[in-house]
Amino acid sequence: MPQAKVMSLPQTVNRHKHDHYQLVMGLTGSAEIDMCGLAAHLDVSHACIVPTDTYHDFFGRPSNHVLVIDLEESSPAFRDPQHPDYEILNPLFESPKLVSLDQGMRQLTQVCIQEIQRAETDQALRHHMACTIIRCLSRRVLPDTKPKKVPLLDINRIDHYISQHMQDRISISNLADCICVSERHFFELFKQQTEQTPHQYVIRMRLTYATRLIRETNLSLAEISQKSGFSSQSALTNSMRKYEGFTPKQLRNSFN
């Protein structure tokens, strides 16, 4: 169930992420928000959409007020393809967005705000007002109701991140953050695009790097295991045997 509230953003810079989707609409004054490099100026004519697990920096200017609508990621509307709102909410909240509000949308928002403030204890009314705003906004942001192509992830950017963090533990959350996509959407899109899970993809990149080190250097297999991000030499051996069909020692002997 959407939760709507009117609030003022702090005038000092804050940074966080949360496990719910969020719509933030400017009401009075102005505020600034940055979502993974997408800078948004919030005022009466602008709103922003914040997906789950998306770090964002924000602060408000004096006398600012915003409408914040939170939507739980576990809601059937996001998880059940048969839900009537599934095809609306998922495209709307799949990535950070800055949205310009036309006059009709601004007028609707003001009416809904007045009703929300008049009925602070009427949760059902607040829910319906929030749903009305989201539904009308989606018709403007997603005017084309025809089936759309699955958005492509920036694999080059993902590869660069993995290369720069080869010796680190790399989680799905790390990869999703590097291209500003929610973790749940990232996993689904990544598997569709690469036909591999993110874990399998990272392992294969580690093996490719380890193979290059075996071929081009005299480093010990233990050192190569560490540099390519495996927890031990045996972990490298097991992964190479599983994915490539031979061991690091056999590979090194073949080059010699």
pLDDT single digits (tens) 74-125: 888 888 888 888 888 888 898 899 999 999 999 999 998 888 888 778 888 8
pLDDT band at 1 (very low <50, low <70, confident <90, very high): low
For residue 143, is pLDDT > 70?
no
For residue 253, is pLDDT > 60?
yes
Tokens of residue 109, six digits: 């928002």
- Pick the residue with more confidence: 147 or 209? 209
Q: Would you state the pLDDT for residue 208? A: 95
Q: pLDDT of 169-187, one tens digit each?
A: 999 999 999 988 888 788 8
Q: What are phi and psi of 33, to 5 degrees?
A: -145, 140
- Beta strand 65-72 with 20-28: parallel, antiparallel or unpaired? antiparallel
What is the number of other CB atoms lying within 10 angstroms of the CB of residue 46? 18
pLDDT band at 12 (very low <50, low <70, confident <90, very high): very high
In whole angstroms, give the CA distance from residue 170 to residue 198.
10
pLDDT band at 37 (very low <50, low <70, confident <90, very high): confident
Judge whether 65 and 29 are in contact, CB under 8 Å: yes
Q: Which domains does the chain have, with CATH numbers?
A: 3-141 (2.60.120.280), 155-255 (1.10.10.60)
Q: What is the average pLDDT value for the chain, to the nearest integer?
A: 89
Judge whether 113 and 27 are in contact, CB under 8 Å: yes
The owner of tokens 């089936």 is: 147
Q: pLDDT of 146-173, one tens digit each?
A: 544 556 889 999 999 999 999 999 999 9
For residue 145, is pLDDT > 60?
no
Q: pLDDT of 42-69, one tens digit each?
A: 999 999 999 998 989 999 999 999 999 9
- In this prediction, residues 211-226 reach a mean pLDDT of 93
% the chain with pLDDT above 90:
59
Judge whether 29 and 82 are in contact, CB under 8 Å: no
- In this prediction, residues 227-245 reach a mean pLDDT of 94
Q: Would you state the pLDDT for residue 79? A: 84
pTM: 0.64
pLDDT band at 238 (very low <50, low <70, confident <90, very high): very high
